[in-house]
């Protein structure tokens, strides 16, 4: 099989590619915006698309332009495909939102740094919201977190797709360190015990939520 250019996703026309640079927490600054605008202009990239994972996809790139564009951007590809931790979607939390009850951005960036790209039995998405409004869609993430006055609530096993599934409540009143430790434990259990291609929600259904809670010592 022909090797794809680095970090490139073949498009519907079977001749051009999309690339998606990594943007932690959906944060972007003027310098990066300028670089993206510059390569889009120089390489005549026809489509720039904001993705559901809070990134910017550059779409419609010729194969030979992919590597020079990465070099000019000086950025790493985001893990957009494959059986890995794909995305950490984060709301602004207490950094900006007046409704926030917890520092979602701070926690989300730490989770992104630690887990993004980690290989797992199936794709795995994380959402971190600063309050129960759940702007980062924590209830439809494999590992979802949202802030309340008493700390963070953790919900697990949500996903969208052909068989949408809301996450189930796992723990409440956690501080940031406790959420981080729980995420680490859960991801390791999933990695070790799930079948290949088994989404996290299906794994929880198979073992049972109460049994799963025992596995993570809750
Ligand atoms: S989830 Fe809450 S804290 Fe986050 S952006 Fe929405 S309203 Fe604000």
pLDDT, tens digit (0-9, with 9 covering 90-100), for 104-138: 999 999 999 999 999 999 999 999 999 999 999 99
Q: Is 173 helix (H, G, I), strand (E, B) or coil?
A: strand
How close is the Cα of 24 to the center of ligand 1, in Å?
18
- Over residues 20-45, mean pLDDT: 97
Residue 3 has pLDDT above 90, yes or no: no
Place of tokens 């006055």: 149
Pocket test for ligand 1, best of 27, 98, 100, 139 (most atoms within 8 A of CB): 100
Indicate if ligand 1 lies below 6 Å from the C-beta of 121.
no
Give, rounded to a whole angstrom, the gap between the first and last alpha carbons of the chain: 46
Report how far residue 174's alpha carbon sits from residue 176's, in angstroms, rounded to the nearest whole number.
Answer: 7
* pTM summary value: 0.95
Indicate if ligand 1 lies below 6 Å from the C-beta of 96.
no
Residue 218 has pLDDT above 80, yes or no: no
Read off the pLDDT band of 175 (50, 70, 90).
very high
Residue 1 has pLDDT above 90, yes or no: no
Ordered by where they begin, the domains of the chain are 8-73 (3.30.70.3340), 85-215 (3.30.413.10)
- Given the CA of residue 131, which atom of ligand 1 is nearest to it? 2
Indicate if ligand 1 lies below 6 Å from the C-beta of 102.
no
Report how far residue 37's alpha carbon sits from residue 39's, in angstroms, rounded to the nearest whole number.
Answer: 6
Tell me whether strands 8-10 and 16-19 are parallel, antiparallel or unpaired.
antiparallel
Residue 52 has pLDDT above 80, yes or no: yes
- Which helix or strand (DSSP H or E) is residue 78 part of? none
Indicate if ligand 1 lies below 6 Å from the C-beta of 159.
no
Q: CB neighbours (10 Å) of residue 173?
A: 11
Q: How far is CA 113 from the centre of its chain?
A: 11
The answer to whether residues 61 and 43 touch, using CB atoms and an 8 Å cutoff, is: yes
């Amino acid at each position: 099989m022909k090797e794809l250019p680095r970090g490139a996703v073949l498009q519907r026309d079977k001749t051009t590619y999309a690339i998606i640079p990594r943007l932690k927490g959906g944060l972007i600054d003027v310098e990066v915006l300028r670089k993206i605008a510059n390569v889009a202009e120089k390489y005549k990239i026809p489509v720039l698309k904001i993705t559901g994972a809070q990134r910017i996809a550059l779409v419609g790139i010729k194969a030979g332009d992919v590597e020079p564009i990465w070099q000019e951007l000086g950025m790493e590809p985001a893990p957009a495909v494959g059986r890995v931790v794909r995305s950490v979607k984060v709301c602004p939390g207490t950094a900006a939102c007046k409704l926030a009850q917890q520092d979602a951005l701070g926690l989300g960036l730490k989770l992104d740094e630690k887990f993004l790209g980690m290989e797992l039995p199936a794709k795995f998405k994380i959402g971190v919201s600063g309050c129960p409004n759940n702007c980062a869609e924590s209830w439809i993430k494999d590992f979802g977190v949202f802030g309340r006055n008493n700390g963070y609530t953790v919900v697990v096993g949500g996903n969208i797709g052909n068989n949408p599934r809301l996450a189930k409540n796992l723990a409440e009143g956690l501080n940031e360190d406790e959420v981080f430790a729980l995420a680490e434990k859960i991801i390791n259990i999933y990695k070790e015990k799930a079948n290949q291609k088994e989404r996290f929600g299906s794994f929880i259904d198979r073992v049972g939520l109460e049994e799963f809670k025992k596995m993570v010592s809750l």
